[in-house]
């Protein structure tokens, strides 16, 4: 893997098993009479021989219709999933932002969640103590930092999650639709923060269907379709147009 690269996928392939359910399958399971005439597939190919290289300091956008493999690709890069075939290489510490505060505990306060999540990334209590004021100010949640997460709105959870992850200074920041729930002011703050990180050689990969976000933040974008890279271009509008075309065809 070249020193200039932060992420590299070579022929990365990921299959998920398709579980058989329902009364008919339960009857087969209990009687031992499994039908062999059914040639239905037993697995779903979420990623199909994906080749992607992301340079240090690059912001890459990912688009694609539902089920195209976007979230799976992020989780493969993060090391949550191991590909069934191919190779995935990364360089440096990775932070994954997926869902509205994924990994947070709803009965803990925002402050307690910062310490819990930070410890997972290897930060000590003293380091996190110094970071908390800045994290709170950036997130804009104010006194809610000492209230249980279950009292937060979806936007508050997303702002806290992004603020925490970006303050942990990851080498690779993976964002899965989290910025979509923020207001325009927070999106601008997030953009500015991402640009600061990129200047320090951090690499950012964003899964989003928010076209202004992709146009404003990304150096390059790809569109996934049925687990494959359909298009990759520095012309973000070209990728967006291709996404719309694929989305229309998938609905027919």
**Contact at 8 Å (CB) between 42 and 18?**
yes
Q: What is the pTM of this model?
A: 0.83
- Residue ranges covered by each domain of the chain: 58-79+93-250
Which string of DSSP letters, residue by residue, matches the chain?
--TTEEEEEEEEEEEEEPPP-SHHHHHHHHHT---SS----SEEEEEEEEEEEEETT-EEEEE-STTSSHHHHHHHHHTSS--SEEEEEE-S-EEEEETTTTT--TTSBHHHHHHHHHHHTT--HHHHHHHHHHHHHHHT-GGGGGSBGGGS-HHHHHHHHHHHHHHT--SEEEEESGGGGS-HHHHHHHHHHHHHHHHTT-EEEEE---HHHHHHH-SEEEEEETTEEEEEES-HHHHHHHHHHHHHHHT-
Name the one residue in this structure whose structure tokens are 């027919």: 252
Model pLDDT, residue 108:
96
Model pLDDT, residue 212:
87
Question: Which residues of the chain, if any, have pLDDT below 70?
Answer: 19-41, 99-102, 179-182, 251-252
What is the CATH number that goes with domain 58-79+93-250? 3.40.50.300
Residue 198 half-sphere exposure, CB side, CA atoms within 13 Å? Answer: 18
Model pLDDT, residue 123:
87
Which of 9, 16, 6 is closest to 224 using CA atoms?
9
- Indicate the pairing of strand 172-176 with strand 94-98: parallel
Model pLDDT, residue 14:
95
């Amino acid at each position: 893997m070249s020193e200039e690269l932060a992420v590299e996928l070579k022929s990365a392939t990921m299959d998920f098993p398709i579980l058989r359910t329902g009364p008919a399958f339960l009857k087969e399971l209990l009687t031992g009479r499994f039908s062999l005439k059914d040639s239905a597939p037993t697995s779903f190919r979420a990623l199909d021989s994906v080749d992607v290289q992301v340079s240090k300091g690059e912001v890459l956008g990912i688009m694609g219709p539902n089920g195209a493999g976007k979230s799976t690709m992020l989780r493969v890069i993060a090391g949550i999933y191991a590909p069934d075939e191919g190779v995935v290489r990364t360089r440096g510490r990775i932070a994954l932002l997926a869902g509205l505060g994924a990994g947070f505990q709803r009965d803990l306060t925002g402050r307690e969640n910062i310490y819990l999540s930070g410890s997972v990334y290897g930060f000590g209590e003293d380091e996190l103590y110094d970071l908390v004021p800045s994290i709170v100010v950036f997130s804009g949640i104010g006194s809610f930092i000492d209230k249980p997460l279950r009292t937060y709105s979806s936007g508050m959870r997303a702002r806290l999650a992004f603020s925490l992850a970006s303050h942990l200074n990851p080498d690779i920041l993976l964002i899965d639709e989290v910025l979509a729930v923020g207001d325009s002011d927070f999106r601008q703050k997030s953009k500015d923060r991402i640009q600061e990180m990129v200047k320090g050689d951090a690499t950012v990969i964003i899964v989003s269907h928010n076209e202004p976000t992709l146009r404003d933040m990304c150096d390059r974008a790809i569109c996934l379709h049925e687990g494959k890279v359909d298009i990759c271009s520095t012309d973000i509008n070209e990728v967006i147009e291709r996404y719309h075309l694929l989305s229309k065809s998938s609905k027919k």
